[in-house]
Amino acid sequence: MFDKENNEISNSIQINEMLVRGMITPVEALTLFIEIDSQKKSFNKKISEEENLEEVMKELDELVGLSKVKYLVKEIRAFTEIQKRRHEEKLLAEPQVLHMIFKGNPGTGKTTVARLLGKMFGHMRILQKGHTVEVERADLVGEYIGHTAQKTRDQIRRALGGILFVDEAYSLGRGGEKDFGKEAIDTLVKAMEDHKDNLIVILAGYKDEMDWFLQINPGLRSRFPIQIEFNDYSVKELMKIAKMMVEKRQYQFNPDALLLFETLLQNSKKDIFYDKLGNARLVRNMIEKALRRQALRLVKQKNISREDLLQICPEDISEVKVN
């Protein structure tokens, strides 16, 4: 009689032989094949998922600055790994609450990080899908009584298995007691509890406004155990970002242009509205404008060399204004 525990059957040839000899029935043979094939499949899946995770981690590492975020991700990754090992040893492995608050000025990488985190958690199997749904006040708050809860729930449903990223979240706290924003917050909090294993909510916004928002909604602070501040980039970091952006688009700054670009950024730092200018987004806009100006300059030129196509000159940048 066939006894599964006493026979270590590792390959299909053995199974076939046993079948031919009449030691096992076709049903038993199929059961063994299912075991072998599903093991093989899960092994392959694991390998490809690890590769994908490494790719996202690399992408995150390539982001300039953001040391706090990188550290947090390392922590979460290590924690997940250990929880998996604990699970294998049949020890208690509780999932963590990973709802977060991102505070920072525009262009400091909040959205970029949220998208990467989604992908990463998807590959780590913390989230089922790992997509990011980006919403703002208008997507959550309705126009009449009862409309808000419905609208918010719709967005939550879209985000299940991934991340719900609420941009400018503090605006939900504006408008006082009678504003529907409060209803949106209540619905969000309820969903965070109901779907705590399969949804991560990230609230994002300016630092001061978010601090005020948490103050007027004291219950929220404890529900978002992870709070990350995205500091403004220094000029040095912004230059690094600028060089990366230009290289990615297959252009080059000539030395004069580089100098000018840096001076412009330094001047913009003195601007009273600097925190609203958009950090990395400002750099991107400046570069995009410079590229358009370079194109305009070259179109007028008769002979265009490969070198010309690559180079960004000071005259392309000179008129880029911080506005």
Partner 1 sequence: MKRCTIIGKTNVGKTLFLINFAEYLGVKLFNIELINKDSKKILYKINSKNAISRLVNEQPHKTRCVQAIEVNIPVGKGKKKIRLIDTTGFIDGIHPEVEIRKAISQTLTIIRDSDIILHIIDASTVYHKDLPSSLGEVDYQIAQFAQLKRGYVILANKMDLLGAEKGFLKIKEEFSGNLILPVSALYKRGFKEVKIFVAHNI
Summarize as ranges the residues that interact with partner 1 (CB under 8 A): 12, 15-16, 19-22, 24-27, 29-31, 33-34, 37-38, 41
- Considering beta carbons, is residue 26 or 255 the nearer one to partner 1? 26
Is residue 177 within 8 A of residue 164, CB to CB? The reply is no
Amino acid at 151: K
Q: Per the structure block, which two tokens stand in for 216?
A: 């007027």
Q: How far apart are CB 35 and partner 1 at their closest, in Å? A: 10
For partner 1, give the closer residue by CB, 7 or 25: 25
Residues 6+ away with beta carbon under 8 Å from 26: 19
- Minimum distance from residue 28 beta carbon to partner 1 (Å): 9
Q: Which helix (H) or strand (E) holds 30?
A: helix 26-62
Nearer to partner 1, 21 or 270 (CB): 21
- Minimum distance from CB of 9 to partner 1 (Å)? 13
270 — phi, psi (to 5°)?
Answer: -80, -15
Alpha helix (H) residue ranges in 200-278: 207-216, 218-223, 235-248, 255-270, 274-277
- Cα(84)–Cα(72) distance, rounded to whole angstroms? 18
Distance in Å, CB of 6 to partner 1, minimum: 19
Smallest gap from residue 84 Cβ to partner 1 (A): 24
Q: In whole angstroms, how close is the CB of 217 to partner 1 at the nearest point?
A: 44
Judged by CB, which is closer to partner 1: 1, or 145? 1
Of 31 and 305, nearer to partner 1 (C-beta) is 31
Of 33 and 71, which has the nearer Cβ to partner 1? 33
Q: How many C-beta atoms lie closer than 10 Å to residue 126's C-beta?
A: 21
For 283-289, the CB contacts below 8 A with 24+ separation are: 283/107, 283/238, 283/241, 283/242, 283/245, 284/245, 286/242, 286/261, 286/317, 286/320, 287/242, 287/245, 287/246, 287/249, 289/320
Least distance from C-beta 37 to partner 1, angstroms? 5
The smaller minimum CB distance to partner 1, of residues 48 and 263, is found at 48
Rg over CA atoms, the chain: 27
